[in-house]
Each structure stands twice: as structure tokens, then as C-alpha cells.
Structure 1
């Protein structure tokens, strides 16, 4: 994924105070209504601080759930942004460049120009600049990769990686199945499954352009792609299994939809399979028939990558290095994204319009890119 040359070639600045522009909110509610642009002065970094500028910050569903007040982990409202009311900066995922350091960080690890991603969520990434402590950031070596590739790696690809590795004992040639296959996690899982030699059955929504979506997923490495309607057709599924599965077991399902769709997907699994739920896009409960527990011995799990990252910092670092290696080798690419630019000279109203346009565009992943 290419970015503007200016974003990739800006020199780091000296330690100085500057103004940061941010997307903030002072109450929970509809993101389209409660988000606003706010500018605030950043002082020079203290001895133990780093001054960073954001290069790219994704807009993820969990970010919006935080703003709505329905997500378990939410940033606290604070006075430090000098807003009329205590506020929080939105966004959890992003890539920064170090442009200034306090005296304690004038070292090889934190040289000017060093790239880093967020070590944990709730930092607030929808802004141009920030002061950070060393513990807030995870330095990355990503020469040759675009800022968007690096900015989007820590949540969706890592979620896919862990779900494919940690629940069922898949081997080369093993089958697995997922719904929401066109999601960012779904596209990541397809590519990782291809790299590891797994075979995948992928389920997408019935909608205009579904044939094009199918081909895109097949190009990423999907083995089979079907629609929700086809999944619910018993005769179709019997024929599909007869032609492609040849009685091979299907022992892992990744669920981000829920409701009837998820149960129909579970019906394709073999005894002792694992079902991992990481989302609920249909906003419907997962009503599990007793037969799936008693006679099929299915194991149902939930997965949330944020606490996993907190508990496994070393394994997280190893995982990121593997994914970056795949990117360098051309085996893995980040899902297609719409880039929404903040540029010098934009008014607050123009900057807010750019962000609201990203919120309204639900056809693909959205990323806020900073050209400051």
C-alpha cells in the first residue's frame, strides 16, 4: 500500500512545544454526534517522555464501541487535553514516529525517526502528536513497509494469528471455517491459513457484488467461498462436502457474526471441534443447541486480543516479527483500506468533515493518515 511521499520523508523535528490536533469526546454516545476536533498545546517532553507524531491511525469497530460506551475497556475522561469538559482522545491502534526525546531517552533504542506502535489500548491515536512514556510504545523495525501496513498490524492480523494457532491442533491440509470472511480479521486469517497450508471454507453475506468479493478472497488464498444463503441450504452443503471435504474433519470455526449464521456454520463441524467467537456483528445471541454440547462435544471459546497482548508481551513481539517477515516476503498484505487525510492548512471544520466521512463509509476499512 503506497502513501504520499511527503509522509514518508518528513525529517524529525527538534524538541519543542507544538500544537496537536485530535478527535475527542466528552461523553459517550453516537460517534457522529459526540466527536469533535480539538487543538491543544503540547509542552516540550520531560526527561522520561517521547514526543511522537502519528503517521496512520485505523478506525476500528471497537473504537466506535468505546465511544458509544458499550465496550468493556474505555479510556478515562481527563483534563490534560485542556478541553472545556474532561475528554478522551479516540482510537486504539496507530503508528507513530519519534520526533523528540527527553534526556533519559537519548539512546540507540529511541533515536529520532524510530517507528513504534501502541503497546496497549486506550492511548488515544486519532491525533497528530502526543507525549508518550516508553511503556506506552512498542518499537518496530519495519523498513520497506508502508505506514498503513504497520499501523494496522496489531489488532486484526494478530487476532487471526492467535485464533488459528491457539485453539485447534491444525496441521497442513486441515480444514477450518469462518463467517465474516471479508472482514479485516477474515482476510488476515485466509492469508495466514494459506501460508500454513490449511484449507478454508469462508462465508460472506449475500449482497450485490458478492461474486467480486468471492474472487478477492480466493485470490488471497481462500479454498472455498460461499454465501450465507448457500450455508443454510442443506442440499447445497451436502453436495459441497461430498465434492471437496471427502470426509475430512473440520475442527475449527471462527465466528464474528453470531445468531443463526453461527449455528449454521457450527453444523458443518466434526465432533470435538472448537468454535472461537471474537465478534457479534449480527447483534444476535449465540443460541447453542444442547446436542452440540452433548453429542458433538463442541468447545465454545471467546477471544479478545487486547488482554492476550498484555499477558504475553514476548510472544506478541515474536508474532509481530513473523507477520512483518511475511509482509516483506510478499506473502501477506494488509486488507484494502480507504485513506483519509489530515493536511496542513485544513480548518477544524474540514478536519472533522474528513473524519466523519470515514465514519460514514462502511464499505471498507478506514485509516486516518496524518500529513503534518
Structure 2
């Protein structure tokens, strides 16, 4: 009980000031700044870092005050991302102070407006911008400037997941090498959500993609799935254990840009494909193995190694550019040019969704909580 009081105080301090009685207009949902309260919220919380399936629990949080510039949002959906798990484990570089509400991405519907809010209306769909914690709960109260309005004529799971994986994909395609229609890129981890987004965004821009996946049962089906998304060629790692790896390209040009989210040998395979002066961008390390680069790759091929971390980029001065890219990505969703596999799970079955996200039930689609 003591830890719950501490959690409430942390959430209370983050979102509100002194509590008082609610007074909500019956016809507009615009509220008096001195008396408005959000509804109580059911939330996934953790009091300390550790294995997510052991340290998370579902609790009821009391209402918080809605100040003049605040917007109370009823959450519709929020994903369970690997970075969410890492934050709970305590191994992510940036994490909220515990006790904390889980989740870092999602979409919600505007429920109540503070008296000074002018840029949003009740019923609008909004996402946290920039990304912020505490999305695994029914109601979230933040200032108007911390929400970004998005279109509401697409499946909610895409609006809930646009800010992490698709934005990473499009940002990496734009930030490191100037690519023109007809150019090629190469990537490992092609079956990841980011990998699937890279394939489709590249196709929409007239780029060709060389894709590497791990050897595992069902790899033939994965190849076909990626080709249907627009992949030009897909190889398993074992297929690339040959000396003349570029002989497999056929008419495809040597890529100037590669993406690595695996590390180890899978990263070395990306480097082998790159042309003279090419660049490999690392945005993950699923194998937990280091990247090893031969001396000749630097001296004779002049390859460059770069890194990408979305959170650092979003903290830069490119907020307007970021919002434009979010709109662009959701437009691709609306036209059917961007899609990826997800599974919607009811909030009441959160523990099942978490087990799936942790891989305890085998390979599963990205889990998205539906509130």
C-alpha cells in the first residue's frame, strides 16, 4: 500500500497540482482550470527495475487535476516495444524514475480540454510528442504542447506505433546518404518492423532493397512475405557464406547505404555488400555481439560506420520535420503502401501480451494493447 501511495504521488506530481472538486461543462468538455479532474486510471506500473513479467502490476490511480493548458487523453492503443522492456529492466540509457507507469508510445482520443487549450478538440486523435512515458494506462494528462494531432481514419494500431519503428526507418533513409531513385540499400534484420518499413518506404521512393534474415524454420515463408512487401532480394545468412557475395546481386547496383540491427556476423555481411565509400548505420544489436570490421574495409573501401538513436534525434531542433514525417508515414498507411504485422490484445489480457512480447510463447507479432 505504501508503494502505491508513492506511485500516486509521483504520477500526481508529474501531471497535476493541488486536487479539487471537478466541474465539467455538460456540452463542451472544456473544464474550469481550478476544479477539473481527470477520470481515475487503470495503469501498468513498476516500483523497481527487473524482469518485466515479475515487477509490473496493474493498479488503479486516482484522478489528477487538469490545468488550463492540459489535455486529458483517453488512450486507445499502445505497443509493447523492446525499448519499453529495456526501461523496465533498467538497462535502457534513458528511463523514468521509479515508481513509474510503463509504455512510451501510443495513440489516444482527446477526452477533456483545459480552459486555455485552443489547438485541439474533443475526439481528436493524438500521440505523445515528443515521446514520453506512462502510456500504459487508460487516461493520460499532459500539456497541449506534448500532444500531436494525427489522422483518425486509419487502424488505431498504426497511429499507436508510428513514432518508434516507422520513424526510425524513414529517418535513417534520409539522414546519412543522399539516395536517388534506382539506388539500392542493404539491411539485416529485414523481418523486424523497422526492416519491413525500410523495404516499403524504399519501394515508395524508387529504391531497391537487399535484405538479410536469420536462418530459422520458416525462412522460405519469411522471404515470400518480404518480397510481397516490395523486397527485391532476400537472403538468409547461410546463403551469404561465400567469397564473392556481390555476385549474387545480378542487375542490382552495389548499395551505398546499409542498416544493421543485429551485430556480429550479420553486420559483417552488410559491410560486404557496400560499395566503395559506403556507410553502415547501426540502430540495434539483437545478437548482443560486437561489430568486427576488417582493416581493409577502412583502408581500401573507405567504409563509414554510423549510429542512430531515435530519442536523441527527436531531442534535436527538428520537431517540425519530425511531425511532417509522421504525417507522411500515416499517409502511406492510408494508401496501403505501409503495413506490418501486429496483434491487438485487450488491456485486461496485458500479462499475456507481455509474455508474447518477451518471447515466452515463441515468435509472435508486435503486441499492441487495446484499451
TM-score range relative to shorter protein = 0.7 to 0.9
8 Å CA contact 2:38, 2:72 repeated in 1: no
Distance 2:192 2:353 in 1: 23
Secondary structure (helix, strand or coil) at the match of 1:272 reads: coil
| The one of 147, 162, 170 aligned to 1:161 | 170
Does residue 88 of structure 1 match 2:100? yes
- Deviation string, structure 1 residues 185-219 (Cα, Å, up to 9, x no partner): 00000000100111111011111111111111001
Equivalent in the alignment of 1:267? 272
TM-score by length of 1: 0.86
Equivalent in the alignment of 1:49? 70
Equivalent in the alignment of 1:255? 260
Equivalent in the alignment of 1:240? 248
8 Å CA contact 2:298, 2:304 repeated in 1: yes
Equivalent in the alignment of 2:200? 191
CA displacement at 1:329 relative to structure 2: 2.2
What does 1:57-72 align with in structure 2 at a 5 Å threshold?
57-72=78-93
8 Å CA contact 2:75, 2:106 repeated in 1: yes
Q: Relative contact order (alpha carbons < 8 A, sep ≥ 6): 1 or 2 greater?
A: 1
Equivalent in the alignment of 1:118? 128
CA displacement at 1:121 relative to structure 2: 3.0
Q: How many residues align?
A: 337
CA displacement at 1:274 relative to structure 2: 0.5
Equivalent in the alignment of 2:321? 315
8 Å CA contact 1:74, 1:122 repeated in 2: no
Distance 1:12 1:65 in 2: 40
Distance 1:351 1:282 in 2: 27
The answer for unaligned runs of 5 or more in structure 2 is: 1-26, 32-36
Shift in alpha-carbon separation, 1:68–1:112, aligned structure 2, 3 A? same
Distance 2:345 2:29 in 1: 24
CA displacement at 1:310 relative to structure 2: 2.2
Does residue 222 of structure 1 match 2:228? no
Distance 1:17 1:165 in 2: 40
8 Å CA contact 2:276, 2:301 repeated in 1: yes
8 Å CA contact 2:212, 2:234 repeated in 1: yes
TM-score by length of 2: 0.86
8 Å CA contact 1:249, 1:270 repeated in 2: yes
Distance 2:341 2:310 in 1: 21
